[in-house]
């Protein structure tokens, strides 16, 4: 006797649908987790690149620091490197300012690093010896920075919180041109915590008096930092 074909019961269909739904939900959650992990990795990589870039730009600036005092807008002399503890500010003169257009300006550049709010800024002047209306141009280097601290290593191996030291000698010109052996930079980052780098300065930095005419492009090395901080 021939038997008729038997189909799925309603219960079996419901069970099959539930199994496929669970498999689909599990696949979605796995894909979502992978995408979230990939996004977090990209954010981490971007933040790491920004921190590395910030230290690299500062290190490049300090590697070309020179003993060149400047005059402010009131014709008062400012040291070749001026470091203040409160608020933490690092201002100095460097060589190697790029001049791709061949403009009639100096290869020396005055720069200042400081914390503005929670942003680490690199500021620079378009002239060395400034006028009253000479204002620096800010460049944003790194965000979400807290508690910037700077220290300066003198020739005796002592770390100082300000530069130049008050006992730098009786010669005013020597005090104006004196550079530390190294600068220690510390700040707090929300992802990486406390970060500290010790950056060396040139052993024999180039010198120039503020009274001398500024050196034009080609008078010094041109390994320089671009007018704008490179994008990450």
Instruction: Say what the pLDDT of residue 131 is.
Output: 85
Instruction: Say what the pLDDT of residue 136 is.
Output: 94
Residue of 185, 183, 180, 173 lying closest to 209 (CA atoms): 173
pLDDT in tens, the chain (232 residues): 555 556 678 777 788 888 888 888 888 888 878 777 777 778 888 889 999 999 999 999 999 999 999 998 888 999 999 999 999 999 999 998 877 777 777 889 999 999 999 999 999 998 888 888 889 999 999 999 999 999 999 999 999 999 999 775 667 888 899 999 999 999 999 999 999 999 999 998 888 766 554 433 334 444 444 455 544 4
Residue position matching structure tokens 């060589």:
95
Report d(CA 228, CA 138) in Å as an integer. Answer: 9
Instruction: Say what the pLDDT of residue 222 is.
Output: 41
| Whole-prediction pTM | 0.75
H or E element: which one contains 120?
A: strand 119-124
- The domains found in the chain, sorted by start residue, are 11-232 (3.10.610.10)
Give the Cβ contact number of residue 82 at 10 Å. 18
Check if the beta carbon of residue 228 is closer than 8 Å to that of residue 115: no
Q: How far is CA 167 from the centre of its chain?
A: 31
Q: How far is CA 98 from the centre of its chain?
A: 19
């Amino acid at each position: 006797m021939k038997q008729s074909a038997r189909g799925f019961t309603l219960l079996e269909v419901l069970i099959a649908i539930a199994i496929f739904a669970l498999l689909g939900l599990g696949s979605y959650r796995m894909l979502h987790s992978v995408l979230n992990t990939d996004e977090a990795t990209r954010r981490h990589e971007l933040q790491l690149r920004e921190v590395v870039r910030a230290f690299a730009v500062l290190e490049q600036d300090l590697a070309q620091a020179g003993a060149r005092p400047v005059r402010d807008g009131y014709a008062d002399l400012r040291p070749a490197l001026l470091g203040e503890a409160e608020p933490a500010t690092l201002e100095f003169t460097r060589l190697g300012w790029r001049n791709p257009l061949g403009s009639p300006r100096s290869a020396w550049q005055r720069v200042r690093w400081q914390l503005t709010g929670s942003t680490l800024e690199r500021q620079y002047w378009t002239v060395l010896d400034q006028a009253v209306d000479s204002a620096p141009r800010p460049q944003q280097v790194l965000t979400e920075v807290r508690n910037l601290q700077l220290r300066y290593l003198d020739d005796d191996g002592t770390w100082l919180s300000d530069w130049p030291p008050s006992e730098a000698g009786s010669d005013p010109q020597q005090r104006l041109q004196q550079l530390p052996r190294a600068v220690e930079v510390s700040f707090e980052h929300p992802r990486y915590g406390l970060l500290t780098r010790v950056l060396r300065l040139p052993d024999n930095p180039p010198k120039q008096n503020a009274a001398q005419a500024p050196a034009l492009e080609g008078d010094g090395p041109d390994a320089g930092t671009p007018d704008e901080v490179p994008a990450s």
